[in-house]
Every structure is written in structure tokens, then in C-alpha cells.
Chains A and B, each alone.
Chain A
Amino acid sequence: MYQMRLPPWLVLLLPAFVILLAVVAIPLVLSLYSSFTAFQLTRPETITRWIGTFNYGKAMGDANFWAAFGRAVLLLTLALNLEMLLGLGLAVMVAKVTLGQRLLRTMMMFPMMFSPILVGFQFKFIFNDNVGLLNNALQSLGLTDVAIPWLVDGNLAFLAIVAAEVWTSTSVFAILILAGIFAIPQDPVEAARVDGCTPWQTFRYVTLPFLMPFIYIAMAIRSLDVARAYDIVQVMTAGGPARRTELLWTLIGRTGYVDARMGYANAMGYIAILLSIVFTVYFFRKLTTARTSLGMGD
């Protein structure tokens, strides 16, 4: 009897293929398929109701969707830049510390250990207009006598969310940049000093170029996180009021799970993925350029 024998390399790779297929490929294909159907969670039979590109057309023509998309881009830009600047500052300062540096590094990571839901509640309380910490402090200090509606005013609410994001994730940048600082070869730095560079010139033209690959890696990782920002925003404002802080994933989450319109939510999700792809490609290009200029590239 003929017995089919698979080549050994395939046999060895098969478990990996099966797992990837089960946890990545099948859900992706299924969600992509359902985005072309009228699938509603509460009516399972609707998964076979093919409606072509109706969901995509609807999302493309929906002003609320594009407003959320634009807001997500703005959040990405603002939060990433602030986190980068603060993280860089923090890392440079911590690198200078000689006594208790290990303790400082551990403390720096504390915000990352909190669950985003908890961070959301914490900042929601801080920014509450009536009983919140911030308004009470401002009123007690005599800086204002009105209740500032932090989570209601569109701009203030957006900044409140940025503040929460920055608080929780600046340390991601700080840790990665700190690793970069430790990896910098000392020769160029010393050479710059011998040549009479000021500390700023040394930092700007020697240290920073060495750190850029680390910064871009942190940016790429965080851009994926922020593009999917959901929990903190959901807890703090749930995208409201009046859609003023609606982001892609608060909108998609509500459409999929509360309104049960999973087909439409998946279509919006697939359009949203473009955002992550664009940012990731951008940061990887930057990373390659930075590495090439350091002579690290291929």
C-alpha cells in the first residue's frame, strides 16, 4: 500500500502552520468575509446574507467614521511625539544617575503595570468636573472659580485622553531609549568632546543619531497600540459627548458588540487597519534610514 510521506521539513513546520492557521488566518478570513455580509450577532443566519461592498461604501460615506479616523490620526501624532520627547528626557536623566538607578528604572515602569481600564478610571476621576481632583485643586488654589468641564469640552477631553495615554506609556519610550543610551559606543562621544563640542552639540549630533533606531522601534510599537486605543477612552468618555472624542475603536466596538452589527464593524475595522499599516511602514522606513546612516544597515 502506498503511504504518503511528507518531507521532514514540512512535518517539522506543520504544527506552526496549523497554529498560525487557527489563530491568525481563519479569524482574519472569516472577519474579512463577514465584512461583505449583513452579519448581525443576534441573528446568526445573517452571516450568509452577502451584500457585497455595501458596508464599505457605507463606512466610506459616513462623516462620523471619517471624523473618528481623523481624530485617531491626531491622537497618534500628539501622543507619540509627547511620549517620545518626555521618554527621551527621562531616559537621558536616568542615565546620568549613578546611585539608585536600578530602583528608578523599576519605578519608571510602574505606570505600564496598571491595567488600561484602571488608568481610565483614575483619570476620569482626576478630570471629573464636580468632584475631580484637578478642579478641586484649581479651585482651592484660587486659580478658577468655575467647574472646568474637562471631559465635556471637545479639546479639553481630547487632551485629557492624551494625558492618560502619555502617563501610562511614556516609560515604554524611556526604557527603550535607555537601552539605546547604554549601547552607545563611548569612542565617538569622547572624540566629540576632544574636538571641543558643547554638551548640546554632542547630544544632537552624536548621541541622538545613535538613539534614532531605538526611537523608531518604540514609535512603531506604540503607533500600533495608540491606533487601537480603546479601553482608556471607553472608560473616560466612551467617545462622547456628542462624538467629540470618538475614536475608531470606540465606534467599531459599539457597532459590533452593542449594536450587534458585526459585518459593518468588521468593514470599518479593515479600513482602520490601513492606518496602522501606513504608520508602521513609515516608521520602518525611517528606522532603515537611521540604521543605514549609522552604517548598521545592509
Chain B
Amino acid sequence: MKTFAASSALALLAGLGLASGALADGEYAGVTIDAKLIGGQQYEALYARIPEWEAKTGAKVNIVSQKNHFELDKEFKADIAAGAITWCVGSNHSSFAPQYPQLYTDLTPLLPAETIAGFVPANIEAATLDGKLVMLPRAQFDVSALYYQKSLYTDPAKAEAFKAKYGYDLAVPETWDQFRDQAMFFADPPNFYGTQYAGKEEGIAGRFYEIVVANGGKMFNDDFSPAFNSPEGKMALQWFVDLYKAGAVPPGTTNYLWDDLGNGFASGTIALNLDWPGWSGFFNDPAASKVAGNVGVAPAPKGAAGVRTGWSGFHGFSVTEACANKEAAASLVDFLTNEDSQALESAAGPLPTRTAVWDKVIADAASDPYKAEVLAAFQETAKTAFPVPKTPYWIEATNLIYPELQAAILGDKTVDEALQTASDAVDSLMRENGVY
């Protein structure tokens, strides 16, 4: 522990040394950086550090827009269409980034190599599109792990009944098949449900994507022609259909998005919940959650191929190609994602994207068993996490896929019909855009 403290102090000093080396006093005096940043309580604490950067460099930051990512996305698209890229720094997200191939500049030549080396390599890889490092990840890394109600696994009557029905011991699920069995077993509608899932838009398309991968399949071939209409894809969709048909999920789940899921699990009416790290504090807060004190966290289960699900994404900051002072803008982006900034953000719960900060949060959590359990589960899941397919048409493809997934879940179409329709629609989308 002592050694760690000493080494982290050294690392911190080294970090500060680097930071002060990079930020020469008054280096950008007179420069104003216009920024469009993601708003919302969990994201804004970081922006309180901006005056520190301003004092150091002499530059000014002017936040011209602060909205949620979906609204920012629409605004960016309108700006691109109008040719009105008058700002320098923008919030970005790994799922949205491939949509704006010409908007952002390559950060590699603007930053010291050791800065980039401090990030988790998988994150840098996911932030690199067509060889361009389009953003630096902030401490808002997202991958889903399994939250569950611990008391369900300590009840001997349940354990006995489960074994009698399914022929194996009741334990926290390690595979999606076990997860399905247990969700059906625990369900007692309309008061209690085995699980729930995001049922629309990128939410369900992303879940489907990660289960396809966990089953050993893929969403797209190398030329980005659709590949999900496969045995692995059918198996994945069948999983959603089975849970819905069995009444193991709330009947409204096809309309649910993240807030509905988080509030649902916190209401104590859901047994198993695959969810993001940002909810961990909320679920265990007695003022907000009925399951506080009863929450267990495990790594995401594995699919038929023995691969863990791990659809992941992260927030970051990018510099526009049209920016007049890219060096100053890159310096701001660097500052907002450096070790101090990431330590500040991850102290509130979100996961970091810098190796040193991962080590720090795990060491800090040593005295808090729940936090340690959360971090261990997410770190294990993060090891094999993967980003969305790197095509500008990902979001558009998900908009074609999700209504078909819903149609199969609700029984309007069979699994085969739904995937065939979705695959045909994505195929014509790709052809129309000249992808192949």
C-alpha cells in the first residue's frame, strides 16, 4: 500500500511536471476557444476545472452550447449542413463519432506521444477512425455489467425449487442461457420481473449487437454488408423473444430506455439488470433505491461462443478541422482528459480511460466492499469490451434494425422474417450510400 502511495505520488508529480511542461504560462494569451459540450449533472463537474486551464494559458473558453448528446448530435449535423463550424472543441462519443468523418481533426500530431500512451490502448484504438485519432476519451467509459438482487441467491427455498426445475445450482448467471432461465424463474408479473431490457433505438440494437458477438457472430462483414442474419443473430434475437413471451420482462420494455431501466431496478421489481456503471451509486443509495444494500454486481455474462458481451462506448473531446488555433484547442482537450481531470470525474463513479487512473480508483475503493465489487466487475467486463462497428451508417442502421427486433419480440413477425427484413434494409442502405 505504502509503495503504491509513493509510486502514485511520483506518478502524480510526473503528471504535473508534464502538465506544466505542456502548458507554458500565457502560451495562448488572447486566444478564445468556442466549445460545444455535453450538459447534464454528471458531466458538468469537470467544466469547473476550465478556469484553471484559462489561468495557466491565458486563453479563454467560451461554451457556446451545452446539451445532451442526442441534441448536440442534431446541432452538429445542422452546423455541418450550414457550413457553420465556427467552434473549436466539441464533446464526442464513440458511438456518434463515425458519423462526422470530416468534422474533426487528427489529434496525434497535436499531442505528445506520451500523453496518448497514458490511455487504455483499447480506448485509443476505438477513438481512431481511418487512422485519425478523432477524440481523447474522458473518464466516462461505459460498458454494461450485471446488477442483481443478492437476496434472491441466499434463499434456500428458491435454490431448491430452481435446481428441481432446471437441474443445476442457482448461482449468479455466467452465461446468457443461465440468465434467461433465472429471469423466467424469478418472474412473478405484474409485481416482479426477472429482468428488463432497453427496447428501442440504439439501446436494443446495441444489446442485440453484443449478444450476437458473444454468440460468435458479427454484425457486419468486412465490407460492411450486414452479417447479423445468421444462426448467431437468430439465437440472439430468440433470447429477447423468449423473455418477452414468458412474461419475464415488463410488457412495456420495448419502450424503455436507460432511465426507465435504472428506475425500474431501483424500484425493487427487477431481479437481474444489465446496466451501465453510472448507476452503481444510485442503486445502492437508500434515499433513491429500494434495493440499496442488496445489490450485487458481476461481470457481464457470456454468449454461446464463450465470449462476454461488451458493447462499450465512451465520451471524449474533439477538435474541429475548421478550428483556427488547433494547438490551443488540443491543449484544452488534453487538460480535460488528463490524470487530474479523470481522477476528479471517476471519483463520482464513472469509469476512467487512463491506465493510471484505473489503478488509483481501484486502490481508493479498497475500503468500500460495494465499490470494490462494482469496479472489479466492470474492469473484468472492460477487458474484452468492444466499440460499435466503425461505419458512419451505424446509427442509421440501428434505426432500420430496431423496429424489426421489436416486431419479433412483440410477435408481429417471426425471428427469421424480422432479421431478413432488417438485413435487406441495411443492405440497401449500404448500397445506396455506395459502401459497396
Q: Please tell me if the beta carbons of B77 and A128 are within 8 angstroms of each other in the complex.
A: no
Does any Cβ of A come within 8 Å of B106's Cβ?
A: no
Encode contact with B along A145-157: 1 for CB under 8 Å, 0 otherwise: 1111111100000
Q: Please tell me if the beta carbons of B81 and A241 are within 8 angstroms of each other in the complex.
A: no
Q: A residues within 8 A CB of B404?
A: 242
- Besides A41-B80, A128-B252, A152-B255, 5 more A-B contacts (Cβ < 8 Å) are A152-B251, A152-B410, A237-B255, A241-B199, A242-B406
Does any Cβ of B come within 8 Å of A44's Cβ?
A: yes
Q: Please tell me if the beta carbons of B254 and A240 are within 8 angstroms of each other in the complex.
A: yes
Does any Cβ of A come within 8 Å of B105's Cβ?
A: no
CB neighbors of A among B362-402 (8 A) = 392, 395-396, 399, 402
| Partner among A41, A42, A139, A149 whose Cβ is within 8 Å of the Cβ of B251 | A149
Does any Cβ of A come within 8 Å of B286's Cβ?
A: no
The verdict on A147 contacting B190 (CB below 8 Å), with A240-B403, A240-B406, A242-B254 known, is yes
Q: Please tell me if the beta carbons of A42 and B267 are within 8 angstroms of each other in the complex.
A: no
Q: Within the assembled complex, what's the spacing in Å between the Cα atoms of A262 and B78?
A: 10
Does any Cβ of B come within 8 Å of A225's Cβ?
A: no
CB neighbors of B among A108-162 (8 A) = 128-131, 135, 139, 145-152
Interface size, chain B (Cβ < 8 Å) = 38
Q: Within the assembled complex, what's the spacing in Å between the Cα atoms of A149 and B406?
A: 14
Q: For chain A, which range describes its interface: under 10, 10 to 19, 20 to 34, or 35 or more residues? A: 20 to 34
Q: Please tell me if the beta carbons of A42 and B269 are within 8 angstroms of each other in the complex.
A: no
Q: Within the assembled complex, what's the spacing in Å between the Cα atoms of A41 and B102?
A: 12
| Partner among A42, A130, A150, A238 whose Cβ is within 8 Å of the Cβ of B77 | A42
Shortest Cβ distance from residue A257 to the other chain B in the assembled complex, whole angstroms: 5
| Partner among A129, A237, A238 whose Cβ is within 8 Å of the Cβ of B250 | A129
Shortest Cβ distance from residue A96 to the other chain B in the assembled complex, whole angstroms: 42
Most buried by B among A42, A151, A242: A242
Does any Cβ of A come within 8 Å of B142's Cβ?
A: no
Q: B residues within 8 A CB of A43?
A: 80, 102
Residues of A participating in the B interface, judged by any CB pair closer than 8 Å: 41-44, 128-131, 135, 139, 145-152, 237-238, 240-244, 254, 257-262
Encode contact with A along B121-148: 1 for CB under 8 Å, 0 otherwise: 0000000000000000000000000000
Q: Please tell me if the beta carbons of B254 and A241 are within 8 angstroms of each other in the complex.
A: yes
The verdict on A260 contacting B252 (CB below 8 Å), with A42-B80, A42-B100 known, is no
Shortest Cβ distance from residue A69 to the other chain B in the assembled complex, whole angstroms: 17
Q: Please, which residue of chain A has its CB at the minimum distance from the CB of B392? A: A42
Q: Please, which residue of chain A has its CB at the minimum distance from the CB of B257? A: A238
Q: Within the assembled complex, what's the spacing in Å between the Cα atoms of A155 and B346?
A: 46
Q: A residues within 8 A CB of B267?
A: 130-131
Q: A residues within 8 A CB of B403?
A: 240-243
Encode contact with A along B282-306: 1 for CB under 8 Å, 0 otherwise: 0000000000000000000000000
